[in-house]
Structure 1
Amino acid sequence: MIRKLRYQEIDFEKYSRCLDESCQKNWYARKNVLDKLSGKWHILVYGDYEAVMPIHLTKKFGFNFVHMPLFCQQLGIFSKKDDSEINHLFLAFLKKEYWVFLYSFNQYNNFPSVLEKKKNYIIPISDYEILRRKKYFKGRKSTTKSTRHLIYKELSINKECMMFIEKNSKGIPTQADFEIFKKYLDFLITNKFVTICGAYLGDQLISLALLITENKELSLLALFNDEEYKVENGSSFIIDRILQHYIHEKKFNFMGSNIRGIEVFFKSFGAELHEYSFIENKILKKFT
């Protein structure tokens, strides 16, 4: 029932139709996005593209492993109706046919067995004033109130932005990863998939948020902060202003995290927990 298709074997018209009609829609599973983030990807298919599962391959120790592309949180299985038994068939096939380093399913994929979970936080479309009054943590209300001297701007990418990102890109581990990030950002800008938001203290840029923009969703790709201005709480200010401008028409996806401090930061804006399943080879992880 499940079959493996290499890139050159994929019927992309059927693949795209399956994604578009699926109940688990995920921006990262699109062909053009995976083409940019993954140098090599396959799909697993159920029936005549009734359900599909994209997988990214990377070479480690001389072997091809299934891994998650850099800057991609979730992939998983896509179908008109999520079916835990069919999902189990995909999972079993994946484990049998591939060496799996890490694979993250999407939050809508259910399984008959219990898998490990990671955390994501999302704010649904809301009335901003009600969200702030009823769901912001008390401390976050106070912090955002204290940042009213800052200036919010939506920006086009320019030399100032790129210099700021490069200087403050602590979450991107290597220079090679940063080069991939820059190419990905170029792709997002060219295709008008990104909104760039800045927090200024006078004329000084102190925080920068990159948002992937979809019809009904904003996803936080990255948040950069100048540590010299940490006391100004630019992160709190910029998220609050983004919500003020957009939460009435777009949900806000924080894209993680399992780090306690970051998790509390997300929750403090009234974000709701959305867990997603993943499988990981912990033995391989120790050697990387």
Structure 2
Amino acid sequence: MIRRLKYHEIDFEKYSHCLENSAQRKYSATKQFLDLTSDKKWELLVYKDYEAVMPVPYVFKSGIKIVHNPMLCQQLGIFSREDNIEINEAFLSFLQNKYLIRVYAFNEFNKFKTSLKPKKNFLILPENYETVYSKYSPKRKRKLRLDEDVLKTSEIKEISFDQAESFIRDNFLGADKEEDIELFILIFKNMFEADCLSFSAFYLNKRIINIIVTYFDDFTVALLGTFNDKESVKISGASVLINNCIKENIHSKIFDFEGSELPNVEEFFRGFRPELRPYHIIDYSKKEIIKKLLSLKIIFNQ
């Protein structure tokens, strides 16, 4: 029995208990992360008495509710004490029959009978740092050996949102529209104020040339953004920042690279020798959404 609950109907204590004790636990499904990335525009599918749960974020387009993973939220899906294919299929069927869907991403642990589109993600699991470093590619190790003159004139600092904002704006790549950049910036600001986001900067000659943005909780550090001065790419400041973050956290936390479908970014991540952890998504084009809306005449409770 799967029920659909609006945000105000969710028992967040039961939801959190299910998530934290699940076989699929993901930081991106926590109430805090979803609230910050979706502006509390999410609801919940529940199996029995919170034995399994599935958060469903949405946006409104022309007054129509459409399922869409929020910016910076890579994986959601079904969470339960044991991953169960039959229950997962029931959730998938409910989602597809009751919602209009643009993009929804399941987590790496969810298994299905239905064939779904795979995407890539990369993780380094908790381990002794020396062991993790020993697995880096020879090229990555070379990149981390900075020249003597760079060592003398560089430093790593944790900085505030206000200190990071202008550099991020000036070096933002990958956003299609200006409003997308503004939304990214707003989410970064809100996360920083919620004390779950950090900005680590690589300074050369007292000037920032790289920033990495990481989200953190008790179990995971997730790389949400890497921003680089185009004129200083050869310095490898981003590699140094990521390695430093791994060194400080990998003894007790997962380091999540958040994947990439861009070949050059994937190659960069693979230099740290992470584990490939594919996950699956369902997505529909705008034409497919309109066709389904017209044919099924779905009425949404808004």
- Structure 1 stretches of 4+ moved >3 Å: 282-287
CA contact (8 A) 1:211 1:222 kept: yes
**Residue 90 in 1 paired to residue 91 in 2?**
yes
* Corresponding position of 1:132: 133
Q: Which residue identity is paired with 2:94? A: F
RMSD across aligned positions (CA) = 2.1
Quick one: which amino acid aligns to residue 32 of structure 2? N
Is 59-68 or 92-101 further displaced after alignment? 59-68
Does the aligned pair in 2 maintain the 1:147–1:234 contact within 8 Å?
no
| Partner SS, residue 101 of structure 1 | strand
Match of 2:246? 243
Q: Hey, what does 1:115 align to over in structure 2?
A: 116
Residues 221-232 of structure 1: pairs in structure 2 closer than 5 A: 221-232=224-235
Matched with 1:216 is 219
Amino acid at match of 1:83: N
* Equivalent of 1:262 in 241, 262, 265: 265
CA offset at residue 286 of structure 1?
11
Secondary structure of residue in 1 paired with 2:278? strand
Q: 2:81 — aligned with what?
A: 80
In 2, the alpha carbon distance for the partners of 1:163 and 1:104 equals 31
Distance apart, 1:44 and its partner CA: 0.8
Cα distance between partner residues in 2 of 1:10 and 1:253: 28
Name the amino acid aligned to 1:35.
D
Q: CA deviation at 1:42?
A: 1.4
Give the match for residue 144 of structure 1. Answer: 144
Distance 1:12 1:116, change over 3 A: same
Q: Which moved more, 1:265-274 or 1:121-130?
A: 121-130
Structure 2 match to 1:57: 58
1:174-224: per-residue Cα shift (whole Å, max 9, x none)? 332222223322222222212221111121110001111122321101111
Report which stretch shifted further, 150-159 or 105-114.
150-159
1:160 pairs with 2:147: no
- Does the Cα contact within 8 Å between 2:161 and 2:189 map onto a contact in 1? no
Q: Which whole-Å deviations, capped at 9, do the CAs of 1:45-89 have from their partners, x for residues lacking one?
A: 111111111111112354221111111101111111111110000
Aligned residue type for 2:31: K
* Code of the aligned partner of 1:161: A
- Give the TM-score normalised by structure 2: 0.88
Helix, strand or coil for the counterpart of 2:277?
strand
Confirm or deny that 1:183 pairs with 2:186.
yes
Q: TM-score, normalised by structure 1?
A: 0.92
Q: What's the secondary structure of 1:113's corresponding residue?
A: coil
1:41 is matched with 42
| Structure 1 gap ranges (5+) | none
- How much does 1:265 deviate? 0.8
Take 1:163 and 1:107, find their aligned partners in 2: how far apart are those partners? 35
Tell me if structure 2 keeps the 8 A contact 1:118–1:275.
yes
Show the counterpart of 2:175.
172
Deviation for aligned residue 1:258: 1.4
Deviation at 1:36, TM superposition (A): 2.3
- TM-fit CA distance, 1:251: 2.2
Q: Is the 8 A contact 1:152 1:238 kept in 2?
A: no
* Alignment coverage as a number of residue pairs: 286
Distance between the aligned counterparts of 1:45 and 1:211, measured in 2?
Answer: 30
Q: How far off is 1:30 after superposition?
A: 2.0
1:271 aligns with 2:274: yes
Match of 2:19 in 1: 19
Q: Partner of 2:293 in structure 1?
A: none
The CA distance in 2 between the partners of 1:156 and 1:285, in whole Å, is 44
Q: Partners in 2 of 1:147 and 1:164 — Cα distance?
A: 24
Q: Structure 1 pair 278/127, CA: closer, same or farther in 2 (3 Å)? A: same
User: Residues 194 and 158 (structure 1 numbering): CA distance in 2 closer, same or farther, change over 3 Å?
Assistant: closer
- Whole-angstrom CA distance in 2 between matches of 1:193 and 1:172: 23
Match of 1:8 in 2: 8
Unmatched runs of 5 consecutive residues or more in structure 2: 291-302
